[in-house]
Structure 1
Amino acid sequence: VLERADFGEVANVMKHHGFDGADAMLADLGMSSYALDDPQRGFSFRLDGPLDMRMDSRNAIRARDIVNEESAEELARIIYTYGEERASRRIARMIVEARRRSPIETTGELRAIVERALGAHRRGGAHPATRTFQALRIAVNHEMESLAALLRDGPARLNPGGRMLVISYHSLEDRPVKERFRELLRAGGYAAIARKVIKPSAAETSRNSRARSAKIRCIERSAP
């Protein structure tokens, strides 16, 4: 059964289809490479396209709406909280200055604004716009709220012996997964499948560079 829904809706989706429990849950929190490489989706600063970033096109709010309508204070909060960008206030100020002249409509325009704020290059290899784009994508799609709902509702929906596995790609995602799984282990009724976080091998990352930051954590619901 295929269902177009959000991670946070797992309990309602299972109930709707009459599933009392699951033997396995796999949540891949990463971006689809197909979406990332499609300029019309607006996820990447590498490709110029409309500033959209919606995972689900049925949603009303796009990245351009946030960029053009939120206050400098709210933009700075989003960029700092979801992008862990220390220069969030400077970027927010430059966004507000730019949109006074004309609305910011494309990924290329936003990329240029961030480059003016931070410089075109940053030590460590990551492009200076990486954190800002990540933050806007997370805000547009309510990703942290969805993850919180999944971690709250998902484990209780496992059958005895069922496993829940989460693949995260940055610390903002991995931190709540780690904390929630530790909480469940301390409370009892669940067991850890691996003592340490599972990371891709050098051979895998050489074949697929986008896997390099992936982290897997997994728990199993104990038998009653």
Structure 2
Amino acid sequence: MAEHYQHVTVLLDEAVDALRVRPEGLYVDGTFGRGGHSKKIVEQLGEQGRLLVVDKDPEAIKVANDLFADDPRVMIHHGSFADFSQALDERGIEGSVDGFLLDLGVSSPQLDDAARGFSFQRDGALDMRMNPESGESAAEWLAEAQDTEIMEVLWKYGDERFARRITQRIIEQRDTKPLETTLQLANLISDAIPRKFHGKRHPATKSFQAIRIFINKELADLESCLESGAERLALDGRMVVISFHSLEDRMVKRYFKKLSTPAPVPRGLPVLETNIALPFRTIGKAMKPDSREVAENVRSRSSVMRILERKS
């Protein structure tokens, strides 16, 4: 019997309100998860409205099919949000998108299911793939990767100061016994980091994050999606992105700023920045969940939401 894992949608009302859903509009939920945002979007669509839901995770796609199997307004795509534009084209949907939503990172059901390998607090197969049916698992990668590659991933995607020590332990361990479970890896990392540097967070937090991001090509997919999403955004359309760690948020912030901020004007030219029209603008400041939401869902505490709008 399949287990059911609870998922609390982060910034649910704020994110959907930011989209300003029009009954006849076309929207994309690039990270369906368990459908919290999608359900709220669909509630606001009329008969002519359309929603494309996308997710790499086959379990999320099963939920989407159960929820929307009989709703002709909803299109379901199993794959990366980076491919949303192609998914629309394949369904004969051309033209601009009125709203685009990304809720990044790993979902609660993925963390809570030990078999998925995302959590260092539950013992399970060392997998970490958003789509377990495709690509290389974390265990497979760690068994074959060069030490320089492992060290670079831990440093680049996890900002792990002890990347070299952890990598050395991984290489030593795999020479005698393969790393196959999450607790094997978590305990190895904990032992590699000097006890005096163990803080409030588990010592394996940064490394697990780094390996997960690398295995799933999360930042590459995000970069591609931001570009294609902005290109396909309709006039007055909005892109809403919820990030959960600094690498994601930094990428989103920089890209939104690039699209909405005029390039510096060379000194001496009779041109003001106000005279340079840009097609995009950011809406408000970065938004974080309030204290009540954090109290109800501690996993929301690191979330940051940013909004980009194509000006009419």
TM-score by length of 1: 0.95
- The residue that corresponds to 2:201 in the other structure is 126
- Cα offset for 1:66? 1.4
Matched, 1:189 2:279: yes
- Cα offset for 1:30? 2.2
Distance 1:112 1:121 in 2: 16
- The residue that corresponds to 2:83 in the other structure is 9
- Cα offset for 1:124? 4.0
Alignment of 1:193-212 (within 5 A): 193-194=283-284, 196-212=285-301
Distance 1:124 1:79 in 2: 18
CA gap 1:121/1:66 in 2 versus in 1, 3 angstroms? farther
- Secondary structure at 1:127 match in 2: coil
- Secondary structure at 2:166 match in 1: helix
- Cα offset for 1:12? 1.1
- The residue that corresponds to 2:115 in the other structure is 40
Distance 1:185 1:60 in 2: 36
- Cα offset for 1:65? 1.2
Alignment of 1:1-224 (within 5 A): 1-17=75-91, 18-119=93-194, 122-187=197-262, 188-194=278-284, 196-223=285-312
Give 5+ residue unaligned stretches, structure 1. Answer: none
Instruction: Write out the 4+ residue segments of structure 1 that deviate beyond 2 Å after TM superposition.
Output: 119-124
Distance 1:124 1:49 in 2: 24
- Secondary structure at 2:164 match in 1: helix
The residue type paired with residue 216 of structure 1 is: M
Distance 1:74 1:192 in 2: 36
Asked whether the equivalents of residues 120 and 127 of structure 1 are also in contact (C-alpha less than 8 Å), the reply is no
- Structure with greater Cα Rg: 2
Q: Residues 42-77 of structure 1, C-alpha deviation per residue, up to 9 Å, x if partnerless?
A: 000000000000101221200001111111111000
Distance 1:156 1:145 in 2: 17
**Aligned pair count?**
222
- Cα offset for 1:119? 4.3
Distance 1:100 1:75 in 2: 15
- Secondary structure at 2:119 match in 1: coil
- Secondary structure at 1:137 match in 2: helix
